[in-house]
Structure 1
Amino acid sequence: MAIATTNPATGETVEEFRAFDAEEISARIGRAAEAFEEYRRTTFAERAGWARAAADVLDGSARAIADVITLEMGKPVRQARAEVAKCAKALRFYAGKAEGFLADQPLDGNAVGAARAYVRWQPLGPVLAVMPWNFPLWQVIRFAAPALLAGNVCLVKHASNVPKTALRLQDVFLDAGFPPDAFQTLLVGSEAIDGIIADPRVVAVTLTGSEPAGRSVAEAAGRRIKKTVLELGGSDPFIVMPSADLDRAAEVATTSRTQCNGQSCIAAKRFIVHRAVAAEFRELFIKKMTSLTVGDPADEATDVGPLATEQGRRDVEELVADAVGQGAEILCGGRKPDRPGWFYEPTVITGVTPRMRMYREEVFGPVAQLHEAEDIGEAIRLANDTDFGLGSNAWTTDPAEQARFVEDLQAGQVFVNGMTTSYPHLPFGGIKHSGYGRELADLGIREFCNAKSIWVG
């Protein structure tokens, strides 16, 4: 895939970029390794100051950065501005919390015959991040903020369709005063990733992306015995029980399924509704989905913009066609509008069965599956009948039902009566084919640290 900015609302290629050759990649890695030797000795106070300055840069240029995000991957501009603001908050969060998260952890010295024993968290070195296009700023910041505050340096291979966003973020860190080469954007294609992982100066890898991409990176890193954190796909359930506030649940369901034009790993995708309220929820959900404004993502009034790539829309069309061809019913949407760009209508589909591809595969577009469940047991069985385990939603005011969902849903996150999202304050990650490791909170900053045990006699 060429490294290029292509407007998904029109299909027009705006600018192409030259990929780094092997010599330049090696030089960049070398600069990162040299920068680490100096950077790891900086203080938490210094790093926190730079992080707060980066947050200020983001706030000051939020509109311009949001416009670039919207241009490159089609996110409605209101959502793009919210993404920039979220990144600034995360930087400030780690600026205030990193030192406490990584403070020496006292251990029981008496138990091991020591005068003193503790764990010291220390940075590892240059970490490669392979990043996706759907949240082109947030996905990078949620890795980079904790990594940089811990004393690591960052090499970012961003998605090939968001080069302007990637380069703009590199400038944010430079403008904030971070040492040169502490954060670098690598303009490279996917074919270069294996060679970068193989370089002994790169000590670890994190990836947010598809399941096949995760397998490839994990295999390459495993051959070199390098730490990996993977956040992969999701097919999150959204369960609605009779005690739920149905109107609120339908409103959140609509937002969750169509945020980022339906291209979010933790978007709810499978809506499992108790039979007692299925008809009422179905009517509310369809009404809200059909009321959304599909259009130019640069327009403030737009709710749903285009899919980021032409292939992405083709993938959605194929999954819907496969389901309909085997008996599924489209309740609304199901078409691409007659206009330029890679748009697809918000869609609700029912009658999806295990023999259909959509039942097992992640639908990366504004398409919602609607299922009915006889009781809580069947709802949980349907929710867990997937290879993925990223996030989950459960809507009920019954304390016993809430407790059961918390205990039995197989996912990295369970959100009760609210939309699954990511916060700097909460660990984020999945199980099963949704990956392993955690980002954000205290667990995220420790992923790329050496937990060094210290024994003092």
Structure 2
Amino acid sequence: MQSVNPYTESIVEEYDEHDEEDVEAALSRAAETFEEWRATSLTERRGLLTDAADVLREREEKYAELMTEEMGKPITEARSEVQKCAWVCDYYAEHAAEHLQEKTVQGPEDAETYVRYDPLGPILAVMPWNFPLWQVFRFAAPHLTSGNVGLLKHASNVPGCAKAIEEVFRDAGYPEGVFQSLLVGSDLVEEIIEDDRVRAVTLTGSGPAGRSVAEQAGKNLKKSVLELGGSDPHIVLDDAPIAEAAETGARARTINSGQSCIAAKRFIVHDAVYDEFVDRFVSEMEALQMGDPKDEDTDVGPQAREDLMEELHEQVEDSVEMGAEVRLGGEPEDGEGYFYPPTVLTDVPRDSPAGCEELFGPVASVFRVESEAEAVELANDSQYGLGGSVWTTNLERGKGVAARVESGAVFVNELTKSDPRLPFGGVKDSGYGRELGVEGIHEFVNRKTVFVQHGVGDE
């Protein structure tokens, strides 16, 4: 298994893949460890999570550079990602006891009734390359702390990050087997899900991968959580603060070099402010600096793989053939590295790739609408429903629009982002289930009802 630097196109490192014998050993270790780990006090688990946060902070630069080398993330964003991983560890170390506390439910007067939260067992996490640390830690922090054990099948282009995450938990003092990275291809995922020792599965990734995992989990009657793609609307109403909407919109479209499920992708702009917004937005996108991801001043790095860059360009070309106008960018950069420039498309046909597919790179699709109602209709005219944002100077109006947008999250006058304190996930083809917050930690526990009848056999 190789990791290839998308900036230099050179091999970073090669790793030996795990074979079926290695996977069997890992599954056995996970099942054995779970019986001990579930009996470990919550206080001890929380303390270990605090230690994991300390390891992350101590090694921030090391892990940030690793991400930048393996998938091209700009170094300033990579550092922020490590910091966010430490934050999610801090959050659950502080709040897990509250979130997992037995909940008393009013029942008969002569009985004690409550709900307790018990761990399920080994959980398989199938994770993507675009946020190679964060998307694993937002799974691991709550679910290891609730008493489960984790098995990570990471994306094949970030094996170094997979090993680094395993290293964090080991060096924080977690028992061997609580968290294991499996360096395997996708061909072994079905077999792992089918194994009786695996009790649940979570995936962050593409729609096809999500459907495959959901099918296998459903066939084996196992709980699953899916966070899939998105084509988030960035709605600019006629009373929007245009300068802020354009500036934040450019950042929202190009975070992680545009490779984010919750990036703003469809810019839906009221006719009354359309021209002003487009001019400002194009200027903001044009001002972004593209280059060496290890350079502190770089805003947009390379795409993570050459095939992904080529697929993105095909979507742009097909959209232009169908009538979209290129206002900025639109062609891969010549030379070394998998660079695709910040790109703005206007007059985008709704049935073009830029109108109805997810463009996983720094390409913005801009639409003109005549009314608020049309803006909401277009925002919802998508197979996806992950996030979205609304821009207006009238906050009550913004909340009203947010209520009508069909997605797992809507932000008013801010870009869509995840936060350990808030539930995160989507609807429609963007998946199901929630991560983060109290809702997230409850996804992989047995919410067990306990009914204790009083007066029977009492002396």
Q: TM-score, normalised by structure 1?
A: 0.98
Q: CA deviation at 1:187?
A: 0.4
SS at match of 2:429: helix
Q: CA deviation at 1:243?
A: 2.0
Q: CA deviation at 1:10?
A: 1.8
Q: CA deviation at 1:404?
A: 2.1
Instruction: Decide which moves more: 426-435 or 246-255.
Output: 246-255
The counterpart of 1:193, out of the listed 189, 196, 199, is: 189
Q: Which amino acid aligns with 1:29?
A: L
Q: How many residues align?
A: 453
SS at match of 1:148: helix
Q: d(CA) in 2 for partners of 1:114 and 1:151?
A: 32
Deviations 1:220-267 (Å, cap 9, x if unpaired)?
111110000000000000001122221111111011100000000000
The counterpart of 2:30, out of the listed 25, 32, 36, is: 32
Q: d(CA) in 1 for partners of 2:186 and 2:354?
A: 27
Deviations 1:402-435 (Å, cap 9, x if unpaired)?
2321221000001001110000000000000000
Q: CA deviation at 1:356?
A: 1.2
Deviations 1:25-63 (Å, cap 9, x if unpaired)?
011011001000000011111011100100000000000
User: Are residue 315 (structure 1) and residue 306 (structure 2) matched?
Assistant: no
User: Are residue 182 (structure 1) and residue 178 (structure 2) matched?
Assistant: yes
Q: d(CA) in 2 for partners of 1:421 and 1:32?
A: 33
RMSD (Å) for aligned C-alpha atoms: 0.9
Cα pair 1:51 1:95 within 8 Å, conserved: yes
Change (3 A) 1:313 1:173: same
Q: Which amino acid aligns with 2:32?
A: E
Q: CA deviation at 1:19?
A: 1.4
Cα pair 1:427 1:443 within 8 Å, conserved: yes
- Structure 1 residue aligned with 2:150: 154
Deviations 1:180-202 (Å, cap 9, x if unpaired)?
11000000000110000011000
User: Are residue 304 (structure 1) and residue 314 (structure 2) matched?
Assistant: no
The counterpart of 2:87, out of the listed 83, 89, 103, is: 89
User: Are residue 10 (structure 1) and residue 17 (structure 2) matched?
Assistant: no
Q: d(CA) in 1 for partners of 2:165 and 2:230?
A: 27
Q: CA deviation at 1:358?
A: 2.3
The counterpart of 1:125, out of the listed 121, 124, 149, is: 121
Change (3 A) 1:283 1:432: same
Cα pair 1:272 1:372 within 8 Å, conserved: yes
Q: CA deviation at 1:88?
A: 0.2
Q: d(CA) in 2 for partners of 1:403 and 1:84?
A: 32
Q: d(CA) in 1 for partners of 2:84 and 2:415?
A: 16
- Structure 2 residue aligned with 1:202: 198
Q: CA deviation at 1:114?
A: 4.5
- Structure 2 residue aligned with 1:227: 223
- Structure 2 residue aligned with 1:60: 58
- Structure 2 residue aligned with 1:455: 451
Q: d(CA) in 1 for partners of 2:254 and 2:246?
A: 12
Runs of 4 or more, structure 1, over 3 Å off, are none
Cα pair 2:193 2:217 within 8 Å, conserved: yes
SS at match of 1:294: coil
Q: CA deviation at 1:400?
A: 4.2
Cα pair 1:104 1:119 within 8 Å, conserved: yes
Cα pair 1:391 1:420 within 8 Å, conserved: yes
SS at match of 2:246: helix
Instruction: Decide which moves more: 46-55 or 394-403.
Output: 394-403
The counterpart of 2:97, out of the listed 83, 86, 99, is: 99
Q: Which amino acid aligns with 1:105?
A: K
Cα pair 1:114 1:455 within 8 Å, conserved: no
- Structure 2 residue aligned with 1:50: 48
Cα pair 2:12 2:69 within 8 Å, conserved: no
Q: TM-score, normalised by structure 2?
A: 0.98
Q: d(CA) in 2 for partners of 1:319 and 1:90?
A: 35
Q: d(CA) in 2 for partners of 1:82 and 1:252?
A: 18
Q: CA deviation at 1:218?
A: 0.4
Q: d(CA) in 2 for partners of 1:144 and 1:190?
A: 20
The counterpart of 2:234, out of the listed 234, 238, 241, is: 238
Q: Which amino acid aligns with 1:456?
A: V
The counterpart of 2:211, out of the listed 209, 215, 219, is: 215
SS at match of 1:307: coil
The counterpart of 1:329, out of the listed 325, 330, 355, is: 325
For structure 1, which runs of at least 5 residues remain unmatched after alignment?
none
- Structure 1 residue aligned with 2:69: 71
SS at match of 2:138: helix
The counterpart of 2:368, out of the listed 365, 369, 372, is: 372
User: Are residue 262 (structure 1) and residue 292 (structure 2) matched?
Assistant: no
Deviations 1:338-384 (Å, cap 9, x if unpaired)?
12110000000011112312221100000000111111000001100
User: Are residue 163 (structure 1) and residue 159 (structure 2) matched?
Assistant: yes
Deviations 1:283-329 (Å, cap 9, x if unpaired)?
11000100111001011111000000111101110000001111110
Change (3 A) 1:387 1:114: farther
For structure 2, which runs of at least 5 residues remain unmatched after alignment?
454-459
SS at match of 2:118: strand
Instruction: Decide which moves more: 319-328 or 426-435.
Output: 319-328
Cα pair 1:121 1:452 within 8 Å, conserved: yes
SS at match of 1:15: strand
Cα pair 2:12 2:70 within 8 Å, conserved: no
What are the equivalent positions in structure 2 for 1:434-453 lying under 5 Å apart?
A: 434-453=430-449
The counterpart of 2:270, out of the listed 268, 274, 279, is: 274
Q: d(CA) in 2 for partners of 1:293 and 1:324?
A: 25
User: Are residue 142 (structure 1) and residue 127 (structure 2) matched?
Assistant: no
Q: CA deviation at 1:18?
A: 1.8
What percent identity do the matched residue pairs reach?
52
SS at match of 1:220: helix
Q: d(CA) in 2 for partners of 1:26 and 1:220?
A: 19
